[in-house]
Chains A and B, each alone.
Chain A
Amino acid sequence: MIYDANTWIGHWPFRALPRRSARELLDQMDKHGIEKALVGSLHGLFYKDAHEANHELVQEIQGHRDRLLPCAVLNPTYYGWQDDLRQCREEYGTPVLRLVPDYHGYALTDACTTELISAAHALNMRVALIDRVVDPRGRHPLDPGREAKRDQISAVLSRFPQERFLMLNFSGLVPSGTSDGQRNLYDITRILGGNGLRLEREITKHGAKHFVVGSTMLLRYGKPAYLALEKCQLDPQQRAAVEHGNLTELVPELAG
């Protein structure tokens, strides 16, 4: 039983994607034996009013809520985000908020970001930080996305020492700046190097409790992440933790 913490549907303006819809994501999940996924809207990164993408996302996955749970994208510099966040949580049942500061024109250390994260936590939503959406070597010149600044990531983690974050598309663990550096969960999608031998080493070194499955479908192929995990030598408890246990603990709505 595998839950994927890092999937997307929708349009990407800089490249033709072969698949974009919820139905196509489900087809891919079936192909790879993935039971459930957290999913966000790709084009929500580009809307002036990001919340319009949240409406569309919820509509798109309607009828598939047993397998797909929505992740909201919101811009804390945009008027009315407080009401939008509340609607995401209370009306749409959205358990996770993904932050995309480069695409929405703010910094993780801005006061408005702190306010948004605090508001999300107050509504019992989990917050996902994303190291990067695309590889900088292939980034379109008009794509504003960059790799997250480590000092800003560390600052956010330190500012919320009691909270657990979902860390997506990071190439390794980020020191949290607190004595308990074990609370955040990292998806495995960028920990596949070392000719396929690195993921097992990282899980052995840091412990299975830090990792969750993440593929970045439908932006990228899903199989590499799933294959790398399949090839890891893990005991049944470790495997269950990475495949679904850790994520379900952070996002209990997945168990529903």
Chain B
Amino acid sequence: MIIDCHGHCSIDGSYALSADDMVRSLDLYGVDRICCSAPISAGETSPDRVRRNNDLILASMARHPKRIQGYCFVNPGYAQATQDEITRCVVDGGMIGVKLYHQYTICDPVQYPLIERCIELGVPILMHAGYPAAPELRESQPRLSTGEHFAEIGKRYPEATLICGHIGGGGDWERQIKGLREVPTVFLDTSGSVIDAGMIERCVRDLGSERLLFACDGSMARGVGKMLDADITPEQRQAIFSDNILSILARRKV
């Protein structure tokens, strides 16, 4: 079984691929399931807009219930709306966890109530992350979460299930890995368009295959391709492709 734990789609194609095109892509590349979200990456992030985006995912899940699962995107700056949206989408709507973007870093205190709620529910938090090597790119996402941020929050909440997004999302991925080495409870997903030779092997060497989750984040050929190409054992590949995310999903308490 192969589960892509980081993707984006919408029921109508208004956000990333349509749900139908997503399933076509999954079929083409032999992926069984995908966990999708519709985060807001720029502009206003009001509770209304957040709800509309999450509705795109709920509808996609309803259309392809065996293939598409959902993350609930929230802006933790709206504390009560965030709690309400988690109740609506995760507890009642069946989404598997929470997706955060770069509105705040993962270790910002504004995240604490949200993280504590996810611990209570036993669900994961997938966080957009990276360390752009160029200073001007870092300035464009000043609250982008780095490996160092995950190291800090992972020590504060070792019982949380935190997923650092897309090691191949563009940036200094070696630095990200070094930050994550300090916190064995934090997972890392393999997605992103960057396919530097040796990336997956380095993740396995420094973090262990038990901490890696297969994902593509819109780059299916690159995401699947680098996993098939990597010089790792079949057991390690299977752990990354599905065993690890299945064990995370089994932690759910609601």
Contact = CB atoms under 8 A, between A and B. Distances in A.
B189 to A, nearest CB: 16
B46 to A, nearest CB: 28
B236 interface: no
A27 to B, nearest CB: 11
Interface stretch (B78-86, B119-127, B169-177): B169-177
A78 interface: no
B44 interface: no
Nearest to B30: A231
A196 interface: yes
Contacts of B24: 197
Contacts of A224: 195, 221-222, 224-226, 229
B86 to A, nearest CB: 27
Chain A contact-residue range equals 20 to 34
Given A137-B170, A141-B134, A224-B225, A196 B197 contact: no
Contacts of B222: 192, 224
Contacts of B173: 138
Nearest to B173: A138
A220 B197 contact: yes
Contact of A136 (B22, B134, B172): B134
B172 A138 contact: yes
A217 B197 contact: yes
A108 B228 CA distance: 38
Contact of A223 (B21, B196, B229): B229
Nearest to B132: A137
A137 B221 contact: no
Nearest to B200: A221
Given A192-B221, A221-B195, A227 B228 contact: yes
B198 interface: yes
Contacts of B221: 192, 196, 199, 224-225, 227-228, 231
Contacts of B87: none
Interface of B: 7, 17, 21-22, 24-25, 28-29, 130, 132-134, 137, 170-174, 193-199, 201, 216, 218-222, 224-226, 228-231
Pick the 7 closest A-B CB pairs, nearest first.
Answer: A224-B225, A137-B170, A196-B220, A223-B229, A228-B221, A223-B225, A18-B198
8 contacts: A135-B170, A137-B130, A138-B171, A195-B25, A196-B29, A221-B226, A223-B228, A224-B224
